[in-house]
Amino acid sequence: MRRWAGLLPLLAALLLGGCASVRTMNAAKPGAPIIYSGTQLDWYALHDGCCPRDRFGAEAPRHPGLDLPASVLLDTLMLPFAVAAELGVVLGVSGGN
60 within some domain: yes
CB-based contact 46:39 (threshold 8 Å): no
Helix (H) or strand (E) holding 37: helix 37-46
Average pLDDT of every residue of the chain? 83
pTM: 0.74
Domain span at residue 49 reads 2-87
29 within some domain: yes
Q: Which residues contact 96 (CB under 8 A, 6 or more apart)?
A: none
Domain count, the chain: 1
Angle at 76 between CA 34 and CA 9, to 5 degrees: 110
pLDDT digits 0-9 by tens, 30-41: 888 999 999 999
Residue 40: what are its φ and ψ, rounded to 5°? -65, -40
pLDDT digits 0-9 by tens, 34-70: 999 999 999 999 999 888 999 999 999 888 998 899 8
The Cα–Cα gap between 39 and 25 comes to 12
